[in-house]
Structure 1
Amino acid sequence: MARQGTIVFFDLETTGLRVASCHIAQLAASCENTIFNDYILPRIPFDHGATEVNGLTVSYGQLLLHGEPVRTVPLHSSLQSFIEYLGRFPGPVLLAAHNSRRYDGIVLKRVLEMCSLFEQFKKVVSGFVDTLPLSRKLHPQLDCFKQQHLVHYFLGGKYNAHNAVEDAKQLEELFNYWNPDNDVISEFTDWFYALK
């Protein structure tokens, strides 16, 4: 199916579930085998539940993934690199995430605004696609719409869920398997030009 522009799939791992205050610890994206992945040292502690899910902790000023140190970059640098990564794709670029409207898109937008980068971001990205309600529309017969369940149901596999790179790659694979048409995609897209 022909689409105008590019859909890039992204995911965040954060310090908790509070969209107004959590910090990003991992920002990753996938599009046509081109991966973006940065770890960011958060400035607030992880909620216990977040660490149980994503395996990330901070010890003595070092970000650890399952107890092993990972290289981090400053938040502002990561966001600038992310915008540059997105700018390499034919536009308009849409960013897709599972539960974007209630979590990933809101957190990313808040942090971009906090770093005074949202206007620059909007020059390369035209909106967010939420694959959670999209999956409900495409497959109403299902009783569970968690990404991990959808991957198992449609793709028959298991993966390292709650690692932002793996989540983004698997979401891209799911989306390509579903192959929704442009009208359905548009129905679950929050366009930036409509935000006033």
Structure 2
Amino acid sequence: MRGRPRDPETDTAILRAALDLFIEGGVEGASIEQIARRAGVARLTVYRRWASKELLLAQAIEFGRDSFLSPADALAMFAEGEVTRAKLVEIMVLAVSDDRFRRLIGRLAGAATDHPELMRAYAENYVRPRKDIAMRLLRLLREHGELPAELDLEMLLESLAGVVTYLMLMEPARHEPEQARAYLNRFLDMVVSPARTSNPG
């Protein structure tokens, strides 16, 4: 006999509580007991849904990313009107200029060394599928002539991820949209322009 279906509102409350506690205090500040109390549910309710705290936090982190800008939202930005490099830059500018998102990424970066199991769960369950979507965006840009055909898109994606993380964590003076936009465009010009340079006639 099948049990009662899961309540989506309960799932959302738990994920939001886990995300808030993770942003506030990192992994150590987000125990299952604290998450359950913040969400207003029993600990057993949490354990029934997630096999470990690491899996819960990994999904909560992605819940936070998706509530900010989901992969579907990113694809929709490209589907609406022209497919341009400027739209790619705007997606990154949104990330850099959002204070709560920056705090989330800072906590995630801080957990990398001491909590490899969390990073492993996050990479396997959430990063890889979303990397595929990001590659689709870059291929669309290449198909529309916004990126050179010979450019290594996977390397570009990894470089952009590094640059955005650097801006969020190490460059507070460039958190404003105008400064972030200028910096990201400079980076793309540096990466893309040499590939487009033709021999003088």
TM-score normalized with structure 2 length: 0.27
Structure with the greater alpha carbon radius of gyration: 2
Q: Which has the higher contact order (CA 8 A, sep 6+)?
A: 1
Structure holding more strand per residue = 1
Structure holding more helix per residue = 2
TM-score normalized with structure 1 length: 0.27
